Amino acid sequence: MSSVLNSIDLPYILGALIKIALFWVFIMITVAYMVYAERRVLAVIQNRLGPNRVGWQGLLQPFADLIKFIFKEDIIPLSVNRALYLLAPVVVLVPAMMVLIVYPFGPSSVPLPGGETLSNIVNTFGNSLGFDWALDLRRINLYVTNFNVGLLYVFALTSLGVYGIVIAGWASNSKYSLLGGLRSSAQMISYELALSLSLVAILIPAGSLDLIKIVENQGGTWFGFIPRWNILALFPAGLIAFGVYLISAIAETNRVPFDLPEAETELVAGFHTEYSALKFALFFMAEYVNMTTVSVLAATVFLGGWQGPLVGTYPWLGFIWFIGKVFFFLFLYIWLRGTLPRFRYDQLMNFGWKILLPVALVNIVLAAVIGILFL
């Protein structure tokens, strides 16, 4: 047993676990308040008020919703395939959350206030347990782990998220669920292609699959004031890649204007028709986690992640820039929901395969040509 424990780099794993726990708490809070923010922002767009009763300005609304979901009657239809029916929300939610650990949310090697005392406490604790630690916690890295194929990991886990929807649609044993599930998953896999290809075009200026290095390469400015973000790299290939990415991301997460598979007036409610109470809440949550994932990826790869003014002198400011960019994308999602009508399904699939995919492919060639000429 001790040989097992000696072969693990225990401080690193414990540190990573703590960061994952903090990240998870952050995601849960973001998702809960995304629902609230969506309702308030949609209300402003639609010239009404939105929930503002529960707590000051309605800020306790997510808790009210959570309590409602927990106490709702959990109806499981008799003819469903029980094992798969119960598994599906988990399969949708877990990969979406797993993706979030590869993003850097601040610079590496950031001074931690109180690091000396923390190092002393942790080292004495470890030595008292028999380990021989000599940790230096005065500086920490603001990323969970240094994953050298981070971008591929993101693609892999978003591909796995499709299964939850397919299984949910099939296991519910109802026409609406099956058709909604098939439509939704077909849409997701079609737009996954355009999404991945648009990011390939960005890999040329980015130079690495490691998201930490991608963000670090976006530091500095051109001409003193234009930030060296990937969206402006290899102009105009970066902009086209950003456009393709944004459209694919919205289609991938089944949001307006691509939300036909779960629109209320179509197919009852799509693949989550037969789900009630907490399982429906899990699907709902999974949709918002997917949105957050996609927004974080956009902020990291295109807008420079934690890069921003004054990050050199105040490293923790990087975290603020990162959060700001992610929230900008989330706001964009809500804004689009309040503004655009939805696509018909055949228009949607046509657009994904016949327009977006060729544009993404041509953009890769364009980026390569510009990269060779100017990089």
| Residue 54 makes contact with other proteins by CB under 8 A | no
Among 185, 230, 293, 295, binds other proteins (CB under 8 A): 185
Residues 78-137 within binding reach of other proteins (CB under 8 A): 79-81, 84
Dist CA 153 CA 150 (whole Å): 5
| Residue 162 makes contact with other proteins by CB under 8 A | yes
Dist CA 152 CA 8 (whole Å): 25
Smallest separation (angstroms) from other proteins to the CB of 63: 35
Q: 3-state DSSP call for residue 198?
A: helix
Comparing CA positions, the residue from 343, 331, 261, 240 lying closest to residue 291 is: 331
Judged by CB under 8 A, the stretch of 46-54, 144-152, 221-229, 352-360 that binds other proteins is 144-152
Among 33, 133, 163, 331, binds other proteins (CB under 8 A): 163
* Per rule CB under 8 A, count of chain residues that contact other proteins: 35
Contact between residue 189 and residue 237 where contact means Cβ atoms under 8 Å apart = no
Judged by CB under 8 A, the stretch of 145-153, 257-265, 330-338, 347-355 that binds other proteins is 145-153
Place of tokens 């969970």: 144
Judged by CB under 8 A, the stretch of 58-66, 128-136, 173-181, 256-264 that binds other proteins is 173-181
Dist CA 177 CA 85 (whole Å): 11
Closest to other proteins by CB, 50 vs 181, is 181
* 314 torsion bin: left (phi>0), alpha (psi -120 to 50), beta (else): beta
Q: Which tokens belong to 274? A: 């037969």
Closest to other proteins by CB, 102 vs 330, is 102
H helical segments located in the chain: 2-7, 10-45, 61-71, 82-98, 115-128, 150-171, 175-206, 211-216, 237-252, 277-301, 317-339, 345-350, 357-374
Dist CA 307 CA 284 (whole Å): 32
Binding mask 4-23 for other proteins (x = CB under 8 A): x--xx---------------
Smallest separation (angstroms) from other proteins to the CB of 215: 17
Binding mask 244-283 for other proteins (x = CB under 8 A): ----------------------------------------
Q: Is the peptide bond before 111 cis (omega within 30 degrees of 0)?
A: no
Residues that bind other proteins (CB under 8 A): 3-4, 7-8, 79-81, 84, 146, 148-149, 152-153, 155-157, 159-160, 162-163, 166-167, 170-175, 178-179, 182, 185-186, 189, 209
